Amino acid sequence: MNYFSHIRPAAASLVLFLTGTGGHGAEAPVPGSLPPETAAVTGILLEPAVLRVEAGRSLTFLVTARLADGFEADITSPAVVTLSDPDKASAGEPGVIHGKAPGTVILTAVHGLHRVEVPVEVLPSSGEPPSFVGDVLPILGKSGCNAGACHAKADGQNGLRLTIFSFDPQSDYRNIVDGARGRRVFPADPPESLLLLKATQSVPHEGGARFERGSEAWHTLVSWIGSGMTWQNAGEPALASVSVLPSTRRYRKGAVQRLVVKAHYTDGSVRDVTALAQFESNNKEAAIVSEDGRITAGPSSGQAVVVARFMGMVGGSQVLVPEDRLLPAGDYQSLPVHNFVDELSWKHFQQLGLLPSGLCSDSEFLRRATLDTLGVLPAPEEAAGFLADPDPDKRIKAVERLLQHPAWADHQAAKWADLLRPNPDRAGVKSVYLLDQWLRESFRHNKPFDQLVREIVVAQGNTHRFGPAVIYRDRREPEDLTTMFSQVFLGVRLDCARCHHHPNEKWSQEDFYRMAAFFGPLKQKGGGISAPISGGNETFFVSAGRPLKHPVTGEVMQPKPPDGPAPTVVEGQDPRRALADWMLHPDNPFFARAMANRLWASFFGRGLVDPVDDFRLSNPPSHPALLDALAAELVRVKFDGKALARTILQSRLYQLSSRPNATNAADTRHFSRAYRRRLGAETMADAIADITGVPTKYPGLPEGSRAVQAWTYKIDSRTMDAFGRPNSSSDCPCERNLKPSIGQALHLMNSEVLQGKLSSRETASRVQRLAASTLPPSAVVSELYLACYGRLPDEEESCVATAAFTGDPAGRRQAIEDILWALLNSAEFVFNH
Amino acid sequence: MAIHQNCDGTLRRDFLQLGLRGLMGYGLCDLMRFKAQAAAAAGTLPKNINCIMIWLDGGPSHFETFDPKPGAPAEIRGTFPTVATSVPGVHFSEPVSKLAGVFDKFTVVRSIAHRDPNHGGGNHYMMTGAPTPVPVGCGAFVTFHPSMGSMVSHSRGVQGGLPAYMAMPSNTRSGGPNFLGGQHAPFIIPGGPNAKSFRVNDVVLPADIAEGRVQSRRHLREALDRMQRSNDKLVEDPAVEFDRFYEQGFDLVSSARAQEAFDISREDPKVRERYGRNDMGQRFLLARRLVEVGVSWVTVNWGGWDHHNEIETAYKGDSLKSLDQGVSALLTDLDERGLLDTTLVLLLGEFGRTPKINERGGRDHWPHAMSVLMAGAGIPGGQIVGATDARGYYASENVYRPEDFAASIYTKMGIDPHQHLETTAGRPVQLVNDGRLIRELFV
How far CA A399 is from CA of A206, A385, A395, A649, in Å, comes to: 62, 15, 6, 7
The residues pairing with B54 across neighbouring beta strands, listed in sequence order, are: B300, B347
Task: Find the CB nearest A737 among B182, B187, B434.
Answer: B182
Tell me the sheet residues that pair with A670.
none
The letter for the amino acid at A799 is: C
The answer to whether A177 and A197 are in contact (CB under 8 A) is no
Amino acid at A726: P
Q: Which of B23, B158, B223 sits opposite A291 (nearest CB)?
A: B23
Say whether A665 and B230 touch across the interface (CB within 8 A): yes
Asked if A740 lies within 8 A of B242 by C-beta distance, the reply is yes
Q: Give the dihedral of Cα atoms A370, A373, A374, A379; nearest 10 deg.
A: -10
CB contact (8 A) between residue B204 and residue A750: yes
Residues of A in contact with B162 (CB under 8 A): 742
Q: Which of A207, A531, A828 sits opposite B27 (nearest CB)?
A: A207
Single-letter residue type at B21: R
Nearest residue, CB atoms, B225 vs list A153, A737, A828: A828
| Per-residue confidence (pLDDT) for residue A118, from 0 to 100 | 93
SS3 assignment, position B168? strand
Distance CA(B128)–CA(B146), nearest Å, equals: 6
Interface contacts A/B by beta carbons within 8 Å? 242
Model pLDDT for residues A365-380, shown as the tens digit of each residue: 999 999 999 999 999 9
CA dihedral A469, A472, A474, A477 (to 10 degrees): -170
> Would you place residue A733 in the very low, low, confident or very high pLDDT band (cuts 50, 70, 90)?
low
Strand partners for A707: none
Estimate the crossing angle of helix A641-650 against helix A362-374, to 10 degrees.
160
Cβ separation B27–A149 shorter than 8 A: yes
A759: closest chain B residue by CA: B208
Higher pLDDT, B140 or A516: A516
Closest CA to A507 of A482, A489, A488: A482
Residues of B in contact with A751 (CB under 8 A): 201-202, 206
User: How many angstroms away from the CA of B104 is the closest CA of chain A?
Assistant: 38
Contact A821 B217 (CB under 8 A): yes
Q: Using CB atoms, which residue from B205, B208, B245 is nearest to A742? A: B245
B168 contacts B188 by C-beta, under 8 angstroms: yes
Task: Tell if the CB–CB gap between B30 and A150 is shorter than 8 Å.
Answer: yes
pLDDT in tens, chain B (443 residues): 333 333 333 333 333 333 333 333 434 444 445 444 544 554 555 568 999 999 999 999 999 999 999 999 999 999 999 999 999 999 999 999 999 999 999 999 999 999 999 999 999 999 999 999 877 777 777 889 999 999 999 999 988 889 999 999 999 999 999 999 888 999 999 999 999 999 999 999 888 888 788 889 999 999 999 999 998 988 999 999 999 999 999 989 888 889 999 999 999 999 999 999 999 999 999 999 999 999 999 999 999 999 999 999 999 999 999 999 999 999 999 999 999 999 999 999 999 999 999 999 999 999 999 999 999 999 999 999 999 999 999 999 999 999 999 999 999 999 999 998 988 877 888 999 888 999 999 98
Q: Taking Cα atoms as reference points, which of A719, A727, A689 lies closest to residue A705?
A: A689
Residue of A nearest to B136 (CA): A531
Q: Which residues of A touch B27 (CB under 8 A)?
A: 144, 147, 149-150, 207
Percentage of chain A exceeding pLDDT 70? 95
Distance CA A763, CA A217 (A): 81
Q: Do B425 and A495 touch (CB under 8 A)?
A: yes
B235/A660 Cα distance (integer angstroms): 8
B144 chain-A contacts, CB cut-off 8 A: 730-731
User: Higher model confidence: residue B74 or residue A731?
Assistant: B74
Specify the DSSP class assigned to residue A23. S
CA distance A828 to B224: 10
Non-local (6+) Cβ contacts of B349 within 8 A are B55, B56, B57, B58, B59, B60, B126, B305, B370
Cross-chain residue pair A822–B220, CB shorter than 8 Å: yes
Alpha helices in A59-98 (DSSP H): none
- To the nearest whole Å, the CA of A737 is away from the closest chain B CA by 6
> Given an 8 Å threshold on Cβ–Cβ distance, is B176 in contact with A154?
no
Question: Which residues are registered as beta bridge partners of A119?
Answer: A106
Tell me the residue ranges of DSSP E strands in B149-274. Answer: 165-168, 187-188
Residues of A in contact with B209 (CB under 8 A): 755
Q: Which helix (H) or strand (E) holds A333?
A: helix A330-333
Backbone angles phi, psi at A519, to 5 degrees: -100, -5
Please indicate whether, in this complex, the C-beta atoms of B188 and A721 are within 8 angstroms of each other.
yes
Contact B123, B140 (CB under 8 A): no
- Tell me which amino acid residue A802 is: T
Q: Are A596 and A585 spatial neighbours (Cβ–Cβ below 8 Å)?
A: no
Is the CB of B201 less than 8 angstroms away from the CB of A665? Answer: no
Cβ proximity of A571 and A559 under 8 Å: no
- Those residues whose C-beta lies under 8 Å from the C-beta of residue B232, and which sit 6 or more positions away, are A660, A665
Question: E strands within A266-415?
Answer: 270-272, 278-281, 287-289, 294-297, 302-310, 313-321
Nearest to A485 by CA among A579, A570, A373: A579
- 3-state SS of A494-543 is CCHHHHCCCCCCCCCHHHHHHHHHHHCCEEEEECCCCCCCCCCCEEEEEC
One-letter amino acid at A328 equals P
Q: How far is CA A807 from CA A507, A782, A789, B408, in A?
A: 71, 18, 26, 63
Render pLDDT for A31-49 as a digit per residue (tens, 0 to 9): 345 665 677 899 999 999 8
Min CA distance, B125 vs chain A (Å)?
Answer: 15
d(CA A682, CA A69): 52
Residue A164's SS3 state is helix
What DSSP character marks residue A307?
Answer: E
Q: Testing the interface with A: which of B224, B241, B255, B436 to mutate, by most A Cβ within 10 A? A: B224
Distance of residue A108 Cα from the nearest chain B Cα, in angstroms? 35
Rounded Cα distance, A789 and A832, in Å: 10
Could you write out the three-class secondary structure of A449-504?
HHHHHHHHHCCCEECCCCCCHHHHHHCCCHHHHHHHHHHHHCCCCCCHHHHCCCCC
The minimal CB distance from A759 to the residues B208, B253, B426 is found for: B208
Query: Residue A747: closest CA among chain B residues belongs to which residue?
Result: B202
Q: Mutate one of A730, A731, A746 to test the B interface: name it (highest B CB count within 10 A).
A: A746
Q: Chain A: nearest CA to B350, how far in angstroms?
A: 17
In this complex, do A755 and B209 lie within 8 Å of one another by their Cβ atoms? Answer: yes
| Chain A residues with CB-CB distance to B30 below 8 A | 149-150
Of B262, B281, B384, B278, nearest to B329 by C-alpha is B281
Looking at residue A450, its pLDDT comes to 98
pLDDT for residue A24 is more than 70: no
The rounded mean pLDDT for chain A is: 90
Contact A724 B182 (CB under 8 A): yes
C-beta atoms of A800 and B174 within 8 A: no
**Nearest by Cα to A61 from A312, A234, A260, A319:** A260
Q: For B67-72, which contacts have Cβ atoms below 8 Å and span 24 or more sequence positions?
A: B67/B108, B67/B110, B67/B352, B67/B369, B67/B371, B67/B388, B67/B392, B68/B92, B68/B93, B69/B355, B69/B388, B69/B390, B69/B391, B69/B392, B71/B390, B72/B355, B72/B390, B72/B391, B72/B392
Return the amino acid letter for A50: V
Own/partner pairs, A705-709, CB within 8 angstroms, 24+ separation: A706/A410, A706/A682, A707/A681, A707/A682, A707/A683, A708/A375, A708/A407, A708/A410, A708/A411, A708/A414, A708/A682, A708/A683, A709/A410
Q: What is the largest CA-CA distance in chain B?
A: 75
Contacts of A207 in chain B (CB under 8 A): 27-29, 32
Residue A240: its H or E element = strand A239-245
The pLDDT of residue B19 is: 31
Q: What is the pLDDT of residue A157?
A: 84
Q: Tell me whether strands B106-112 and B383-385 are parallel, antiparallel or unpaired.
A: parallel
- Minimal Cα distance from B174: which residue of A? A729
Confidence grade of residue A81 (pLDDT, cut at 50, 70, 90): very high
Chain B residues whose CB is inside 8 A of the A830 CB are: 242
Instruction: For residue B90, give how far its alpha carbon lies from the nearest alpha carbon of chain A (Å).
Output: 38
Rounded CA-CA distance A447/A440 in Å is 10
- Residues B354/B356/B362/B363 CA torsion (nearest 10 deg): 0
CA angle B153, B154, B158 (to 5 degrees): 55
ipTM of the complex: 0.84
Rounded to whole angstroms, the Cα distance separating A654 from A276 reads: 45
Q: Among A426, A735, A749, whose Cβ lies nearest the Cβ of B140?
A: A426
Disruptive mutation site among A150, A151, A749, A816 for chain B (greatest number of B CBs within 10 Å): A749
Contact A144 B22 (CB under 8 A): yes
pLDDT at A33: 54
Taking only the tens place, the pLDDT of each residue in A133-171 is 989 999 998 888 888 778 888 778 888 989 888 888 889
